């Protein structure tokens, strides 16, 4: 009977558990070591890393047992590989396999050395010993990066970019279309950590944010990674959907170039005091961003609550500061000139890749116009902006930086603020700050590292070094029936063996 | 056969009609020529007989009878039946009257089959035969040619061949030779005269060549500004008529052996 | 077309391709920004000056312009258009992947366009200045004035989101995915062609051969379909070829809106990523396809129009 | 005055559209008087407000008044379209006239370049040029000029070729006119009206093209009020603030429609038949101009 | 009467070939030698496409001959260039076939007819009105026409404007290329009379081209008959109807419908078509259509030779 038929077909659908996930991000290759965004093997659930970053930015073992250790000066690290791990092709993963996988990163990839340079990697049964050339107090953090995910290098990996790696994750790649960037994954029958609940997941990519959220509304998708701030409201109101959010490790920063007119601290302070970050986040960014205060995101305990910002929002004070310092509109064009009488026109450079940038830059421009400081926004592509940041051809420059990309901010702080940092062209140079960061580098104790870092942050605040606009909140929106998908600070752990859509 | 009773053709209500009070009686087998200066309404008369006046133009008075039936009361359907069979037409440029991107043959066959119960092959044969009758010697080749591949004289003869197929009772011709050279014109006139002899077709022809009109026609109508100023047979027009306009026209025609007084 | 004209056309295509190649290569050569840095940036890393210098040397970027150009040309002639910075794949592979979806979209919208514009155009001309004519003209008028990127978004919103008739995302391979983008593309084109067909038919209706056909007592339908229409459509054939070409390029906007995985979408992201090898490859390819199509169309035109044949 | 009235009586359609076009241009010129707000003024506490009494078209993502931005957008769009059309018209006509009148090697060179340009789908090159030069309204204009001058050059050339063989040019040569005089008095005088009408009816298309480039992000940059860019910005807010998409879209439609209608009626006045084909010839591929050369 | 010394223009062995395509060559004029004499009219007749216009366009300097020379008072005019040529142009003027094509549609009559004078700085701006009136009077048009545009006039009137323009420079030679074929007979008569009157008054040399033999022989002092790019007969105008010898001229005469003809006579006509001007074969160009065709005609092209005083024909029968 027709009814019977209908039943069987819906049974079949129920039996074969399929999930459609939409995302505005994707990669053109599934090889973890080839592109900067080589984290898709982890996102799609093919691969896992030795360690894993927890929601509180702490690190714990994933493919290794938790009790890893290092020598005194942090140059020799010893890990114990979990015993029951197998690759999706059934091969057992032992220390030798891990060693080969890690060596592959350094031999065939270019990015490994940005993290650490191994002197030697030794495998002994399940024991893995990594010796590094320099002290690496946070090596376990670095190994949590998907770049170091473990793949089976004993198989032919010449087509890895399109066919996907053989990993230890709950899913294996069925098909990947590098034109549409659509990836279909199926259950890994040899999964080492229990039964995988979903048979098939399709990851569908569209670069257009609103298209993706419409896809979720129209039922094309069951879950969507990072619905934009404009559309999230629609789902918040609708009980058919649930939203998982997490504050990320990112900070949207406005760098101020002290080699120009912003060399005057008064002007920098005025700029800072004009930024109504609460209002930006509430009104313009729809509460999908946390108002910024310190360099490091509020989601970590690097002092967001304890540090004090001497230049918090205070337009009256800003005005007074400017007046007193002699910034006056002498030519009557509605904008102030410097005390020396030079006209001010601050170029605020930003790039389009992140939706909040244009908004905060334009908002800052509008806000500064009200105290008579002229700002001209200028948009460029990411590369040009990166070049500009390096060469210092800007007054203000907006950039979104994942300070906590390793669960620890040291690297990024040095790059952007320490004298001689690759991307420090702002002219910022504070001896006290530099000394503090040098100390961080040789400190292994996490608590001590944090303390030192907080002190450095406070110096940045006092020096009015940069604008910390906001910290984005990442989300995963899904149908109410979807389980086992979470939004995590690490941003790499989309699906796992427990992911399922219940009917 | 054809009787035009006092028709008036107007293109524009406010201005003077293009043709006023025009009457003409054409007997079977008679050739009648319309002559007169440019814009005198000759074409309008012919188009009225053909039921093919431009959209703005209407016969506002009078009537046209063909074989006793009023043409003005013909429906589109009636017209379709009579056109191309009982009333045919030759234009100044017959080539332009044919579809430029189809062969003569395909159009000939289409035309023949539109009015008679012929197979494609029969129609083709008939077409070839007609073309040879107008002394286009390689009929098959002509049928496979496109209009643009023929010379002016050939195209005009193809036009006559088309007009002859159904042995029409009335042939209308609007300056059929004015674009031709004298030698080709002579060929053409010979064909038309033959058509009258063989099928007894009546012909109404427009020409501005008075001598030609005089040679061909049984009846000449002289028009000026939409009105008939003079009409009669050759002898009347050439020798007897006292009409000023006729005289003026005659005096303007250059004549062999004549000389301007310099 | 004779063999000679075909040969000369092919030669012309080759010359034009060389010109375009020189033009795009020159432009990218002059463009601001360092391709090595761009390449690294696309991979998310910031190379040191030494690395940049080394890679520049390896890629021959320090050679004089003519040397670079001829190297590039040499590679192109061997089917090697370089490697896309942003996708890390040979340009040819990337383009081939995207070619078919775009061709499919283009063909589909052309067919759609023809099915709308020819009947409407003819109807409009035949019913000149009657209600049907005014209605069709209004439609075509709206069609040419409405921005396609606006139309596309509205179609997604209404048809896909509100009515849930078609998928929002066009990334799939099915037939359904191509409908909305094709309609968006075809709508303005259909409007344009309706006008063209109408104008052409109207003009042909005033031609002498129509009078001729009528005086031969042919049925009006015969006159319209067998005489007027072929003549009216003939000059549109060339125009049609041109549209095909501009569609290939013009799909960019629509592809972006519908996230359609075609060449246009690729070009837009290549430009944003300053992926010069990809931009160059794209431009050359589209120009080539375009010219080849036009060659075919012109050949078709010559076959269709006997007047172009020599006596 | 009298003359104007007679003109109106004879060309009612044209007059009507001309007045509409003037209204549009006036909106652009007097934007500061018409706009109710400063189009750049962001009121952060008042974002994405639906249309009401103070904000007739609502507000955008930064709380800027959409009505004022749309009105100022007329400026941006019209100014760039006019600039575009003017440059194309002059460059294209000059080269076309030159090629057509002098023929020979000049003609070959200009026409080969134009072949090269025309064997390009316009937007492709525009994207490439805009992409390489970097996104800005000016570069978008340059990019579109680079692809559209050929159409004008071809049209001008075909018109010149047609006129060049007319007896009145022969007569002018015979009666001792100098070449410069013939170019000025005959060639330019006879071709320019058609060229200008073509240009006028192209304004709409140009507005659409600029908007399309801006929509893709290769044209106007924020915070400049430009319709294509506003539409792109509005797309993300389609569900929460549909007016951000609706009003700029409507503005594009109306203005393009007005200029298309104006162009059409101008054509009708000048010569109904010839321009359709002329335009077609302008966009025609090199190898097949025979049919159109008759114009 | 036709003494070489009286010749203003001597066209010697003018040949014009058009390369129509790579393989095709069209012979528009084949070795034509004709002279224009002071106060004399040279009539040129022939069927459409026989090269009449091509010849005169070469004669006035609108077209470059493939070979041959054009002497103006014994000096080769083809050697003139630039400004020299421009200044020389005023001596030879031309009136064109289609009066509506030959006038700038957007210039007023006075501008059209005074333009040549301005080109040679013969008058000042202020004299334009009066000069225009004078010229209009000369062609028997009211002075009020000065303010009209070409489209506001009839064909005959426009042709008069063309004549006025050509005469404004007081040329020594004026060439009329089928100037009456777009007009009806009465207008044609008036135009021809006007031209003859002007010739009487100003002693100009006229070249008159037409396909109407009857018209040309009425007033031309000398008539040249052309066929397929060749002059086949050249004779005194008064003698055309009586003394024509060439079979083609005779065929033309036979085909003409004349008011004074014998109406009972059968029309004789050449049934074949004019051969194509492409890739001309050897022999007499008229061989296919000639009733007297002999074997020599098929192989050898007859030369234009004097068969009696002032009468030349190109036919083997008179060779
Ligand atoms: N479609 C039309 N609309 C308005 N007036 C017309 C139209 N056709 C002809 N006329 C006018 O009607 C009058 C007669 O025109 P018609 O064509 O019959 O003259 P004709 O004697 O055939 O002239 P010709 O010898 O030049 O062909 C003319 O004054 C003409 O202006
Ligand atoms: N520019 C040209 N290119 C190629 N062929 C030409 C050109 N001009 C004229 N011809 C050809 O040269 C031949 C003579 O032409 P011409 O115009 O001199 O003839 P005509 O005697 O004046 O004819 P008509 O009486 O029709 O004016 C014709 O076959 C014509 O097709
Ligand atoms: Mg007529
Ligand atoms: Mg001629």
Element (H, E) at A46: none
Ligand 2 atom nearest E52 alpha carbon: 21
pLDDT (mean) for A33-60? 86
pLDDT (mean) for D63-91? 92
Residue from E27, E53, E56, E181 whose mutation best tests the ligand 2 pocket (most atoms within 8 A of CB): E53
In the numeric block, the tokens 């006036």 are attached to D26
Contact call for B256 and E241, based on CB within 8 A: yes
Q: Helix D189-215 to helix D272-282 angle, to the nearest 10 degrees?
A: 60
In the numeric block, the tokens 């078209």 are attached to D57
Q: Helix D137-164 to helix D122-133 angle, to the nearest 10 degrees?
A: 140
**Which of the four pLDDT bands, split at 50, 70 and 90, describes residue D294?**
very low
Q: Say if residues D114 and D103 touch (Cβ distance below 8 Å).
A: no
Q: How far is C175 from chain D (nearest CA, A)?
A: 25
- Give the residue extent of every domain in chain E: 4-91+171-318
Quote the pLDDT of residue E156: 85
Quote the pLDDT of residue B261: 61
Whether the pLDDT of residue D285 is over 50: the answer is no
Does residue D67 or residue A179 have the better pLDDT? D67
Parallel/antiparallel/unpaired status of strands A223-225 and A18-23: parallel
Beta partners for residue A246, in sequence order = A474
Whether the pLDDT of residue E208 is over 90: the answer is yes
Quote the pLDDT of residue C47: 62
Whether the pLDDT of residue D192 is over 80: the answer is yes
pTM across the whole model: 0.82
pLDDT (mean) for A142-170? 90
Q: Say if residues B218 and B32 touch (Cβ distance below 8 Å).
A: yes
Domain C91-310 -> CATH class = mainly alpha
Q: Say if residues B131 and B142 touch (Cβ distance below 8 Å).
A: yes
Task: Using CA coordinates, name the residue in chain D closest to A376.
Answer: D223
Contact call for D121 and C301, based on CB within 8 A: no
In E, which residues are within 8 Å of B248 by CB distance? 186
Contact call for C291 and D119, based on CB within 8 A: yes
In 3D space, the residue among D98, D205, D197, D95 whose CA is nearest the CA of residue D144 turns out to be D205
B46 lines ligand 1 (CB under 6 A): no
pLDDT of B227-250, one tens digit each? 999 999 989 998 898 999 999 889
pLDDT (mean) for E268-274? 73
- Collect all residues from D whose CB is shorter than 8 A from any CB in A: 40-42, 44-45, 47, 61-63, 134-135, 217, 221-223, 235-240
Determine which of E59, E64, E104, E168 to mutate to test the interface with D (most D C-beta atoms within 10 Å). Answer: E104
pLDDT (mean) for D266-283? 49
**Torsion angle of C-alpha atoms A363, A365, A370, A371, degrees rounded to 10:** 130
In the numeric block, the tokens 């030679």 are attached to E173
Domain E4-91+171-318 -> CATH class = alpha beta
Q: How far is the CA of E142 from the centre of ligand 1 (A)?
A: 27
Token duo for residue C59: 């890629």
Q: How far is the CA of B187 from the centre of ligand 2 (A)?
A: 23
Mean of all residue pLDDT scores within chain D: 81
Quote the pLDDT of residue E115: 93
Quote the pLDDT of residue E223: 94
**Which of the four pLDDT bands, split at 50, 70 and 90, describes residue C309?**
low
Does residue A380 or residue C70 have the better pLDDT? C70
Give dist(CA C309, CA C303) in Å, integer. 8
In 3D space, the residue among C228, C239, C230 whose CA is nearest the CA of residue C196 turns out to be C239
Quote the pLDDT of residue C250: 66
Give dist(CA D20, CA A253) in Å, integer. 48
Q: Say if residues A427 and A259 touch (Cβ distance below 8 Å).
A: yes
- Give the residue extent of every domain in chain D: 10-41+55-291
**Binding-site residues, ligand 2, Cβ < 6 A:** E 18, 20, 26, 28, 46, 48-54, 211, 277
B95 lines ligand 1 (CB under 6 A): no
Q: Say if residues A272 and A453 touch (Cβ distance below 8 Å).
A: no
**Which of the four pLDDT bands, split at 50, 70 and 90, describes residue E272?**
confident
Token duo for residue D295: 């114009």
Whether the pLDDT of residue D272 is over 80: the answer is no
Quote the pLDDT of residue A337: 93
Q: Say if residues E112 and E165 touch (Cβ distance below 8 Å).
A: yes
Lowest mean pLDDT among B209-218, D40-49, E156-165, E187-196: D40-49
The ligand minimizing its distance to the Cα of B39 is: 1
pLDDT (mean) for E124-143? 91
pLDDT of C172-231, one tens digit each? 666 778 888 999 989 988 998 898 899 889 888 888 899 889 889 898 899 999 999 999
B203 lines ligand 1 (CB under 6 A): no
- Using CA positions, which residue lies closest to atom 13 of ligand 1? B18
Whether the pLDDT of residue D20 is over 50: the answer is yes
ipTM: 0.80
Task: Using CA coordinates, name the residue in chain B closest to C210.
Answer: B97
- Give the residue extent of every domain in chain C: 91-310
- Write down how long chain D is: 295
| Alpha-carbon distances of B178 from A34, B91, B228, E188, rounded to whole Å | 83, 10, 22, 15
Token duo for residue E234: 């050249």
Quote the pLDDT of residue E288: 82
pLDDT (mean) for A142-148? 90
Quote the pLDDT of residue D72: 94
Q: How far is the CA of C310 from the centre of ligand 2 (A)?
A: 18
In 3D space, the residue among A457, A390, A398 whose CA is nearest the CA of residue A424 turns out to be A390
Quote the pLDDT of residue A10: 44
Whether the pLDDT of residue D288 is over 50: the answer is no
Give dist(CA E66, CA E58) in Å, integer. 10
Q: Say if residues C37 and A422 touch (Cβ distance below 8 Å).
A: no
Chains A and E touch (3+ CB pairs under 8 A): no
Evaluate whether the domain defined by D10-41+55-291 bears CATH number 3.40.47.10: no
pLDDT of E10-21, one tens digit each? 999 999 998 877
Find all residues with CB under 8 Å of E65, minimum gap 6, and list them: E14, E15, E16, E29, E58, E78
Element (H, E) at A435: helix A431-442
- Using CA positions, which residue lies closest to atom 29 of ligand 2? E49
Q: N- to C-terminal Cα distance for chain C?
A: 13
Contact call for B101 and C218, based on CB within 8 A: no
Quote the pLDDT of residue D279: 37
CB nearest E93 (choices: D168, D174, D190): D174
The percent of residues in chain A predicted with pLDDT above 70, rounded, is 95
Does residue D270 or residue C106 have the better pLDDT? C106
In D, which residues are within 8 Å of A226 by CB distance? none
**Torsion angle of C-alpha atoms E28, E34, E40, E45, degrees rounded to 10:** -30
Quote the pLDDT of residue E1: 56
Quote the pLDDT of residue A463: 95
- Residue C260 burial (CB < 10 Å; 0-12/13-18/19+)? buried
Quote the pLDDT of residue D172: 92
Contact call for D185 and E104, based on CB within 8 A: yes
pLDDT of D56-65, one tens digit each? 999 988 888 9
- Give one DSSP letter per residue of C141-178, joined into a string: HHHHHS-HHHHHHHHIIIIIIIS--S-S---SSSSHHH
Burial A286-314 (b: 16+ CB within 10 A, else e): bebbbbbbbbbbbbbebbbeebebebebb
Residues of chain B under the 50 pLDDT cut:
none
Mean of all residue pLDDT scores within chain C: 82
Quote the pLDDT of residue D148: 85
Find all residues with CB under 8 Å of A200, minimum gap 6, and list them: A16, A17, A18, A19, A174, A184, A185, A186, A187
Which residue spans within chain E are E strands per DSSP? 7-19, 25-37, 41-45, 67-72, 75-76, 92-95, 173-177, 205-210, 222-227, 230-236, 305-308, 311-313
Quote the pLDDT of residue A62: 93
Give dist(CA E206, CA E177) in Å, integer. 11
In B, which residues are within 8 Å of C306 by CB distance? 101, 103, 146, 148
**CATH architecture for residues B1-83+218-255:** 3-Layer(aba) Sandwich (3.40)
Lowest mean pLDDT among A146-150, B66-70, C293-297, D164-168: C293-297
Give dist(CA A112, CA A148) in Å, integer. 8
Give dist(CA D216, CA D232) in Å, integer. 8
B41 lines ligand 1 (CB under 6 A): yes
**Which of the four pLDDT bands, split at 50, 70 and 90, describes residue A37?**
low
**Which of the four pLDDT bands, split at 50, 70 and 90, describes residue D280?**
very low
Q: How far is the CA of A246 from the centre of ligand 3 (A)?
A: 88
Token duo for residue D151: 């159409």
pLDDT of A240-297, one tens digit each? 999 998 888 889 999 999 999 999 999 999 999 999 999 999 988 888 899 999 999 8
Whether the pLDDT of residue D245 is over 50: the answer is yes
Give dist(CA A366, CA E161) in Å, integer. 71
- Cβ contacts below 8 Å, chain C against chain D, sum to 167
Q: How far is the CA of E177 from the centre of ligand 4 (A)?
A: 7
Q: How many CB atoms lie within 10 A of CB C251?
A: 31
């Amino acid at each position: 009977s027709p009814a019977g038929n209908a039943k069987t077909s819906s049974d079949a659908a129920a039996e074969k558990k399929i999930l459609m996930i939409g995302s505005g991000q994707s990669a053109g290759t599934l090889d973890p070591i080839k592109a900067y965004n080589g984290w898709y093997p982890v996102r799609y659930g093919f691969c896992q890393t030795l360690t894993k970053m927890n929601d509180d930015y702490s690190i714990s073992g994933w493919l290794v047992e938790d009790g890893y250790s290092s020598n005194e000066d942090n140059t020799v690290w010893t890990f114990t590989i979990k015993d029951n791990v197998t690759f999706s092709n059934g091969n057992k993963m032992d220390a030798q396999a891990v060693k080969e996988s890690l060596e592959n990163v350094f031999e065939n990839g270019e990015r490994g050395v940005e993290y650490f340079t191994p002197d030697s990697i030794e495998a002994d049964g399940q024991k893995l010993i990594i010796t590094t050339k320099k002290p690496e107090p946070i090596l376990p953090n670095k190994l949590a990066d998907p770049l170091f995910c473990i793949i089976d290098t004993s198989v032919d990996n010449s087509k890895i970019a399109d066919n996907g790696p053989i990993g230890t994750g709950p899913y294996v790649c069925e098909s990947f279309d590098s034109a549409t960037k659509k990836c279909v994954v199926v259950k890994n029958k040899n999964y080492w950590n229990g039964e995988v609940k979903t048979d098939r997941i399709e990851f569908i990519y569209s670069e257009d944010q609103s298209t993706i959220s419409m896809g979720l509304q129209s039922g094309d998708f069951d879950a969507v990674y990072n619905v934009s701030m404009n559309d999230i409201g629609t789902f918040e109101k609708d009980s058919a959907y649930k939203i998982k959010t997490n504050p990320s490790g990112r900070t949207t920063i406005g760098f101020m170039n002290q080699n120009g007119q912003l060399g005057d601290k008064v002007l920098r302070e005025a700029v800072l005091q004009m930024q109504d970050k609460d209002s930006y986040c509430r009104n313009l960014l729809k509460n999908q961003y946390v108002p910024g205060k310190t360099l490091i995101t509020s989601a970590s305990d690097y002092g967001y609550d304890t540090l004090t910002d001497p230049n918090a929002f205070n337009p009256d004070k800003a005005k007074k500061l400017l007046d007193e310092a002699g910034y006056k509109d002498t030519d009557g064009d509605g904008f102030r000139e410097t005390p020396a009488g030079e006209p001010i026109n601050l170029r605020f450079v930003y790039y389009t890749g992140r939706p909040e940038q244009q908004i905060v830059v334009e908002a800052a421009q509008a806000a500064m116009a009200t105290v008579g400081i002229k700002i001209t926004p200028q948009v460029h592509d990411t590369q040009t902006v990166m070049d500009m940041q390096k060469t210092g051809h800007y007054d203000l420059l907006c950039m979104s930086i994942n300070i906590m990309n390793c669960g620890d901010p040291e690297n990024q702080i040095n790059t952007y603020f320490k004298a001689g940092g690759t991307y420090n062209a702002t002219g910022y140079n504070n001896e006290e700050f530099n000394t503090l960061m040098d100390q961080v580098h040789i400190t292994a104790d996490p608590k001590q590292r944090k303390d030192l870092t907080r002190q450095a942050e406070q110096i940045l605040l006092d020096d009015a070094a940069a604008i910390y606009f906001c910290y984005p909140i990442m989300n995963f929106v899904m149908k109410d029936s979807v389980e086992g998908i979470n939004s995590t600070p690490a941003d790499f752990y989309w699906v796992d063996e427990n992911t399922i859509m219940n009917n | 056969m054809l009787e035009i009773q006092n028709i008036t053709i107007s293109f524009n209500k406010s201005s003077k009609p293009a043709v006023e009070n025009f009457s003409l009686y054409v007997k079977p087998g008679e050739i009648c020529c319309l002559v007169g200066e440019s814009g005198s309404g000759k074409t309008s008369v012919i188009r009225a007989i053909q039921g093919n006046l431009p959209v703005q133009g209407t016969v506002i008075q009078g009537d046209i009878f063909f074989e006793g039936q009023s043409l003005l009361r013909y429906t589109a359907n009636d017209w379709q039946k009579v056109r191309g069979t009982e009333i045919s037409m030759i234009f100044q440029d017959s080539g332009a009257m044919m579809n430029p991107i189809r062969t003569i043959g395909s159009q000939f066959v289409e035309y023949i089959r539109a009015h008679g119960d012929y197979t494609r092959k029969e129609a083709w044969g008939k077409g070839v035969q007609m073309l040879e009758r107008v002394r286009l010697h390689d009929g098959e080749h002509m049928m496979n040619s496109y209009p643009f591949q023929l010379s002016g004289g050939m195209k005009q003869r193809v036009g006559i061949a088309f007009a002859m197929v159904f042995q029409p009772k009335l042939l209308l011709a609007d300056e059929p030779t004015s674009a031709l050279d004298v030698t080709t014109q002579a060929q053409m006139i010979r064909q038309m005269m033959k058509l009258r002899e063989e099928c007894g077709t009546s012909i109404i022809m427009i020409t501005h060549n008075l001598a030609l009109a005089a040679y061909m026609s049984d009846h000449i109508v002289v028009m000026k500004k939409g009105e008939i100023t003079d009409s009669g047979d050759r002898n009347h027009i050439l020798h007897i008529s006292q009409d000023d306009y006729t005289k003026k026209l005659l005096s303007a025609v250059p004549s062999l052996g004549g000389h301007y007084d310099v | 077309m004779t063999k000679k004209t075909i040969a000369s056309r092919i030669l012309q295509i080759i010359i034009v391709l060389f010109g375009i190649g020189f033009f795009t290569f020159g432009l990218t050569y002059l463009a601001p920004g360092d391709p090595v840095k761009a390449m690294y940036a696309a991979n998310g890393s910031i190379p040191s000056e030494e690395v940049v210098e080394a890679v520049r040397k390896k890629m021959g970027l320090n050679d004089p312009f003519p040397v670079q150009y001829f190297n590039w040309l040499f590679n192109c002639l061997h089917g090697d258009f370089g490697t896309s910075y942003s996708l890390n794949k040979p340009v040819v592979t990337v383009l081939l992947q995207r070619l078919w979806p775009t061709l499919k979209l283009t063909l589909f919208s052309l067919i759609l366009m023809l099915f709308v514009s020819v009947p409407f155009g003819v109807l409009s001309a035949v019913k000149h200045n009657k209600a049907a004519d005014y209605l069709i003209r209004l439609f075509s008028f709206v069609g040419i004035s409405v921005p396609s990127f606006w139309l596309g978004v509205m179609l997604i919103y209404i048809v896909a989101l509100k009515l849930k008739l078609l998928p929002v995302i066009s990334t799939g391979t099915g037939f359904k995915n191509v409908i909305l983008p094709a309609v968006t593309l075809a709508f303005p084109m259909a409007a344009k062609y309706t006008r063209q067909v109408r104008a052409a038919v109207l003009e042909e209706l005033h031609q002498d051969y129509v009078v001729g056909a009528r005086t031969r007592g042919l049925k009006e339908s015969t006159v319209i379909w067998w005489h007027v229409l072929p003549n009216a459509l003939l000059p549109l054939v060339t125009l049609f070829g041109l549209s095909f070409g501009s569609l290939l390029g013009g799909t960019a906007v629509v592809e972006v809106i519908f996230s359609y995985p075609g060449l246009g979408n690729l070009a837009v992201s290549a430009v944003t990523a300053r992926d010069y090898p990809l931009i160059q490859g794209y431009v050359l390819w589209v120009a080539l396809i375009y010219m080849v199509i036009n060659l075919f169309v012109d050949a078709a035109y010559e076959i269709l129009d006997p007047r172009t044949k020599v006596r | 005055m009298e003359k104007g009235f007679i003109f109106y009586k004879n060309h009612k359609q044209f007059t009507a559209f001309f007045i509409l076009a003037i209204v549009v241009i006036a909106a652009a010129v007097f934007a500061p008087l018409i706009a109710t707000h400063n189009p750049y003024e962001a009121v952060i506490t008042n974002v994405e407000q639906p249309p009401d009494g103070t904000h007739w078209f609502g507000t955008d993502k930064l709380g800027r008044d959409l009505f004022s931005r749309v009105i100022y957008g007329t400026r941006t769009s019209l100014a760039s379209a006019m600039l575009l059309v003017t440059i194309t018209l002059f460059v294209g006509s000059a080269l076309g006239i030159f090629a057509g009148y002098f023929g020979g090697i000049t003609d070959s060179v200009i026409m080969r370049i134009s072949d090269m340009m025309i064997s390009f789908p316009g937007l492709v090159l525009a994207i490439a040029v805009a992409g390489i030069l970097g996104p800005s309204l000016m570069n978008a204009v340059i990019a579109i000029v680079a692809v559209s001058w050929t159409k004008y050059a071809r049209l001008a050339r075909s018109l010149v070729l047609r006129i060049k063989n007319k007896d009145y040019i022969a007569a002018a040569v015979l009666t001792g006119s100098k070449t410069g005089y013939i170019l000025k008095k005959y060639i330019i005088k006879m071709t320019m009206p058609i060229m200008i009408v073509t240009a006028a009816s192209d304004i709409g298309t140009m507005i659409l093209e600029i908007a399309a480039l801006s929509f893709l992000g290769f044209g106007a940059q924020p915070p400049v009020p430009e319709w294509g860019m506003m539409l792109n910005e509005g797309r993300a807010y389609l569900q929460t603030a549909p007016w951000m998409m609706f009003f700029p879209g409507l503005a594009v439609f109306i203005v393009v429609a007005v200029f298309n209608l104006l162009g059409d009626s101008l054509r009708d006045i000048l010569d109904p038949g010839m321009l359709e084909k002329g335009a077609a010839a302008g966009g025609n591929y090199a190898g097949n101009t025979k049919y159109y050369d008759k114009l | 009467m036709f003494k070489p010394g009286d010749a203003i223009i001597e066209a010697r062995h003018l040949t014009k070939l058009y390369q129509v395509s790579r393989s095709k060559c069209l012979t528009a004029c084949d070795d034509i030698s004709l002279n224009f004499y002071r106060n004399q009219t040279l009539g040129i007749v022939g069927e459409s496409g026989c090269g009449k216009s091509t010849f005169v366009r070469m004669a006035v300097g609108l077209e470059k001959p493939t070979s041959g020379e054009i002497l103006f008072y014994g000096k080769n005019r083809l050697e003139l260039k630039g400004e020299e040529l421009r200044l020389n142009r005023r001596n030879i003027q031309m009136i064109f076939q289609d009066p509506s094509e030959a006038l700038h549609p957007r210039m007023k009559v006075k501008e059209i007819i005074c333009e040549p004078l301005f080109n040679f700085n013969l008058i000042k701006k202020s004299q334009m009105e009066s000069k225009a009136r004078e010229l209009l009077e000369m062609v028997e048009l009211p002075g009020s026409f000065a303010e009209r545009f070409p489209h506001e006039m009839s064909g005959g009137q426009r042709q008069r404007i063309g004549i006025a323009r050509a005469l404004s420079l007081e040329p020594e030679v004026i060439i009329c290329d089928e100037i009456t074929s777009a007009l009806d007979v009465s207008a044609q008569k008036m135009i021809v009379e006007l031209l003859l009157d002007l010739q009487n008054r100003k002693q100009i040399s006229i070249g008159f081209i037409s396909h109407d033999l009857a018209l040309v022989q009425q007033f031309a002092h000398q008539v040249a008959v052309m066929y397929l790019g060749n002059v086949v007969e050249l004779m005194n105008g008064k003698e055309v109807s009586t003394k024509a010898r060439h079979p083609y001229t005779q065929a033309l005469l036979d085909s003409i419908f004349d008011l004074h003809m014998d109406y009972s006579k059968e029309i004789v006509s050449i049934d074949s078509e004019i051969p194509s001007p492409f890739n001309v074969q050897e022999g007499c160009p008229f061989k296919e259509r000639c009733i007297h065709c002999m074997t020599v005609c098929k192989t050898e092209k007859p030369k234009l030779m004097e068969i009696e005083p002032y009468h030349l024909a190109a036919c083997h029968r008179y060779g």
